[in-house]
Amino acid sequence: MRHPAGEALPAPIDSPSKEVRIGKSLPSGLDIDLRAGLTDAVTPHAGVAPLIDLARRSGVAAAAERHLPAKRSPKGLGQGQFVESLVLLSALGGDCLDDLAHLRRDRGLAALLGYGPPAPATARQWLDHFHDPAALAGRPVQGSFIPAEPAALAGLAAVVRRTVAAYAAAARPERAVTLDVDAHLVESAKATALPTYAGFRGVQPALVSWAETGLVLADQLRDGNVPASVGLADLVDAAYEALPAGDWSVSVRSGSGSLRGTSARPLGGSRLAGRRERRHDPAAAAEIEALAPDAWSLFALEADGVVRGWAEVPFAPARRSERRDSEPYRDLAIRISPAQGTLVGKGTAARHFAVVMTTTGRPTAARSSPGTGQGGHDRAGPPDAQG
């Protein structure tokens, strides 16, 4: 046996005198070259085999071949293989495209896939095809702007719809669907990043997810200066269209940003029942604090002594523009009181949330949970709106 530096080492007493050669790292990432049968089809990522099988059996990879624009050359990887490779990169904890280089050295993973993942530069070129400079031609000198979706991105939306349909066919989820709308800021050092209301430059991804399943139905990457409420109704409509055909009972839940500014129409139109979290509204907070004790209805009493209650709030949130036949908003307050003698938050005896709704009836749950798009969001909503 030899040291990696080349020095001879004495063989262990209980081992044969046969030399074990220690050479350069194998593509599988192992440091020892085993010459007794185990050679190349070894991978530390064997756990992704079910994911690969699922993508192919569900027709998601085939949907990418059908709906994404055809490649100029038939050589190299197909559209489905590019999509599959990037999904695996994310599933295996990759942070950037350069991490594809590590996967390319894994011969065992290539054996599972039936091909080698693309090089980082090749993946970048593939992603560049989804960018259409012509869509940015209408950008104003000042103000926010949301470009039209290029055809290539519309093809990816069709792949998402196939994913959702495959899940619904296999899992048979409940017919109650909550569309969770979430727009949040992500700081960026790119030269194209625009100033945000928070004071830094960045972008503002907007997501609509199926809260009960965690599936993202629609998404949009926006400039950092786009108001959160702008265009959300269209994004919700796109998410609604991504649901498989069926008799779904759909509700919408969103953050307080959807109540700000103007929009083409309020979330939760004729087809969808809307719920929005209301936050940092001093007028609404004052009305909640002024509620009489008998205005609160008990929702749940938990084993640890926490009491959850809800109440109607005599507060009429204003909409800048409102149609005559639009359904009025209503505020529901949610109160979470800890066990007797325990304080929460800033030394208070109870924690309050407010939810703006366009539906009628009592809430079916009350708890706070992270937002879909950003885990740090503190969200609140009726229990049936929680996924």
CA angle 320, 321, 325 (to 5 degrees): 135
Q: What confidence tens digit (pLDDT) does each residue in 335-364 have?
A: 888 766 555 555 566 777 767 665 544 444
The Cα–Cα gap between 310 and 198 comes to 32
pLDDT of residue 341: 54
The Cα–Cα gap between 20 and 30 comes to 14
Residue 240 token pair: 């609604």
Range from 103-112, 270-279, 297-306 that averages highest in pLDDT: 103-112
Do 103 and 120 touch, CB atoms closer than 8 A? Answer: no
Q: What confidence tens digit (pLDDT) does each residue in 317-327 have?
A: 555 555 565 55
173 pLDDT above the threshold of 60: yes
Mean pLDDT of all residues in 39-65: 87
Q: Which residue would you say has higher pLDDT here, 279 or 281?
A: 281
Q: Counting runs of H as helices and runs of E as strands, what totals does the chain give? A: 9, 13
Give me the residue spans of the domains in the chain: 1-39, 40-172, 173-385
345: alpha, beta or left? (left if phi > 0; alpha if psi -120 to 50): left
Average pLDDT of the chain? 75
Residue 292 token pair: 């009489």
Residue 126 token pair: 């593939």
User: In whole angstroms, what separates CA 338 from the centre of its chain?
Assistant: 31
| The pTM of the whole model exceeds 0.85 | no
Between the alpha carbon of residue 90 and those of residues 83, 106, 155, 245, the distances in Å are 11, 16, 20, 29
Task: Tell me which H or E stretch contains 144.
Answer: none
Residue 290: exposed, middle, or buried by beta-carbon count in 10 A (0-12, 13-18, 19+)?
Answer: exposed
Q: Which of 34-38, 256-260, 269-273 has the lowest mean pLDDT?
A: 269-273
The Cα–Cα gap between 217 and 219 comes to 7
99 pLDDT above the threshold of 90: yes
pLDDT of residue 83: 94
Mean pLDDT of all residues in 211-235: 89
pLDDT of residue 328: 59
pLDDT of residue 346: 53
Mean pLDDT of all residues in 61-88: 90
Among 207, 320, 203, CA closest to 261? 320
Among 350, 312, 347, 303, CA closest to 331? 312
Q: What confidence tens digit (pLDDT) does each residue in 127-148 have?
A: 998 988 888 888 888 888 888 8
Phi, psi (deg, nearest 5) at residue 192: -85, -5
The Cα–Cα gap between 186 and 206 comes to 11
Task: Tell me which H or E stretch contains 49.
Answer: helix 49-57
Q: Which residue would you say has higher pLDDT here, 148 or 382?
A: 148
Q: Model confidence at 20, in pLDDT bands (50, 70, 90)?
A: very low
Report CA Rg, the chain: 27
Q: Which of 85-94, 175-184, 269-278 has the lowest mean pLDDT?
A: 269-278
Reported in sequence order, the residue ranges of the chain that DSSP labels E, i.e. its strands, are 176-183, 186-187, 194-195, 201-210, 215-223, 249-254, 273-278, 297-301, 307-313, 330-337, 351-357, 367-370, 378-381
pLDDT of residue 159: 92
Between the alpha carbon of residue 191 and those of residues 51, 114, 145, 195, 203, the distances in Å are 37, 39, 17, 11, 12
> Which residue stretches of 129-248 are H helix?
151-171, 232-242
The percent of residues above 70 in pLDDT, for the chain, comes to 67
Do 284 and 253 touch, CB atoms closer than 8 A? Answer: no
pLDDT of residue 340: 64
Residue 41 token pair: 């089809």
The Cα–Cα gap between 148 and 126 comes to 20
Among 80, 228, 75, CA closest to 155? 80
Q: Model confidence at 261, in pLDDT bands (50, 70, 90)?
A: very low
Q: Which residue would you say has higher pLDDT here, 114 or 364?
A: 114
Q: Model confidence at 315, in pLDDT bands (50, 70, 90)?
A: low
The Cα–Cα gap between 275 and 254 comes to 6
Q: Model confidence at 162, in pLDDT bands (50, 70, 90)?
A: very high
Phi, psi (deg, nearest 5) at residue 122: -65, -40
